[in-house]
Copies of this chain bind each other. A is one copy, B any other.
Amino acid sequence: MTGGTTAGGGATDPAGPHPEARTGPHPEARTGPHPEARTGPHPVPETGAHPVAETGPHPVAPERPRRRGVPTIYDVAQAAGVAPSTVSRTFSRPGRVNSETAARIRQVAAELGYRTNPMARALSTTHTSLLALVVPDITNPVFFEIINGVQDEAAEAGYTVVLVDSRESDRQEREALERALPIVEGIVLGTSRMSDASIRMIAKQRPMVAINRAVREIPSVVPDNSRGVRRALEHLGELGHDPVTYLAGPEASWADGMRWRGLREASLELAVHVRRLGPLAPTVAGGVAGAKAWLQSPTTGVIGYNDLVAIGFLRYVTSRGVRVPEDVSVVGYDNIFAADLVTPPLTTVATPRRALGAAAVRNLLAQIKGAHPRGGPPVIVPVKLVERQSTGPAPVRVPGAAASSSGLPAR
């Protein structure tokens, strides 16, 4: 039904990777019925005293043409003169079979264009080599690298990833996940819109690891948020900025909580004051809103909840005549692609998102391999500050003077 013209798989491959394929028997040649080809399962009781069991209208040969041209272990087994199970072993646990036999089988298999059928394998092993990756919105730049990291690490281990994009909707996420759940062996949650309870429910059904979010009982890998904001503040502090405004993220955001907490701690350690402004939507628009509020009581240093917020801020204040970094220095968070594209390029905390994805998969695979099902503290992945042109020395404070030539209101 699917391809139609598949007969023999890659056997007729023109100049393809199977140069020897064309010397093999023509696939069509073995498409007919093989009465005795399958002596294995479900033998017809040909001597039994049950006339009822006779296959009715089929006197001798079942005459049922093999479904397609696609060769099975039975075809290979027959052609190689071994049992189907030996063929199976050759591919599923190499080593458990005499190397010579194995070689011959592989050879024959190649000639026939045999490929193991993942569905059949999965049916008996429940091992699908499929992983689900859940992201709320592929469009969000933050996820690209995570997806890549997950992809790479999964591919490395022979796994394929099923993408579940929740489109920022609880329902969609649930439905898509529901659909994917039965076929995947594990789930990577690259930030989810679902409640902790829902997540835990799903985690009951499959191994799971969460990125960027700590859910009780669920293994997780998170970037070193506190270190990240600390580096940002340190950087700003060294440049002479004090106080510094933190453009806060969404109220419900776990990451925002972590960042703010880290900031307060760092504030004490580094003796740089920090103000919180928000909550803000984690978008460019959010940044614009933040900028407007900030103009009411500006500081020379600003740290955005993420790059989008920082970019929105930057664009708005710039449009109002505030110069960056001369009047205000701004630091973003995440180091998304666009951070290097805005004017001026944004200094930001780079979260190793690819590493995050990779670490998540490794953890997940370990769970699947049967290790301890759950537990352990979050895996913390290091971050680093990327200095670009949006930060610079704090403007010199002329005591008693108003705030310079820029559009920056006096404080």
Contact = CB atoms under 8 A, between A and B. Distances in A.
B165 A162 contact: no
B47 A204 contact: no
Given A185-B2, A342-B342, A163 B176 contact: no
By size class, the interface of chain A is: 35 or more
Interface string A341-360: 11100000000000000000
Interface in A285-342: 311, 315, 318, 337-338, 341-342
B50 A47 contact: yes
A193 to B, nearest CB: 15
A101 B342 CA distance: 63
Contacts of A315: 341, 343
A123 B123 contact: yes
A117 B126 CA distance: 10
Which of A14, A117, A182 gathers most chain B CB within 10 Å?
A182
A160 B160 contact: no
A5 B207 CA distance: 10
A4 interface: yes
B160 A161 contact: no
A29 interface: no
B126 A123 contact: no
Contact of A148 (B117, B139, B161, B341): B139
A1 B122 CA distance: 13
Interface in A148-192: 148, 151-152, 155, 158, 160-165, 167, 172, 175-176, 179-180, 182-183, 185-186
Contacts of A145: 139
Nearest to A47: B49
Contact of A126 (B2, B4, B138, B151): B2
A68 to B, nearest CB: 8
A13 interface: yes
Contacts of A4: 373
Copies of this chain, whole number: 2
B3 A205 contact: yes
Nearest to A129: B179
A67 to B, nearest CB: 9
A5 B367 CA distance: 14
Contact of A123 (B47, B120, B160, B201): B120
Contacts of A207: 2-3
Interface in A114-156: 115, 117-120, 122-123, 126-130, 133, 138-139, 141, 144-145, 147-148, 151-152, 155
A165 B147 contact: yes
Interface string A1-43: 1111110011001111000000000000000000000000110
A198 to B, nearest CB: 8
Contacts of A160: 162, 164, 176, 179-180, 183
A400 interface: no
Contact of A1 (B6, B48, B182, B370): B370
20 contacts: A1-B127, A1-B368, A2-B126, A2-B185, A2-B207, A5-B373, A13-B201, A16-B201, A49-B49, A119-B122, A119-B123, A119-B128, A119-B182, A130-B162, A130-B183, A151-B163, A158-B179, A160-B164, A162-B163, A284-B341
Given A14-B197, A139-B144, A160-B176, 5 more contacts: A15-B197, A119-B119, A130-B183, A147-B165, A160-B180
- Top 10 A-B pairs, shortest CB-CB distance: A343-B343, A163-B163, A338-B338, A119-B122, A48-B48, A139-B144, A151-B165, A119-B123, A3-B205, A338-B341
Interface of A: 1-6, 9-10, 13-16, 41-42, 45, 47-50, 115, 117-120, 122-123, 126-130, 133, 138-139, 141, 144-145, 147-148, 151-152, 155, 158, 160-165, 167, 172, 175-176, 179-180, 182-183, 185-186, 197, 201, 204-207, 284, 311, 315, 318, 337-338, 341-343, 368, 370, 373
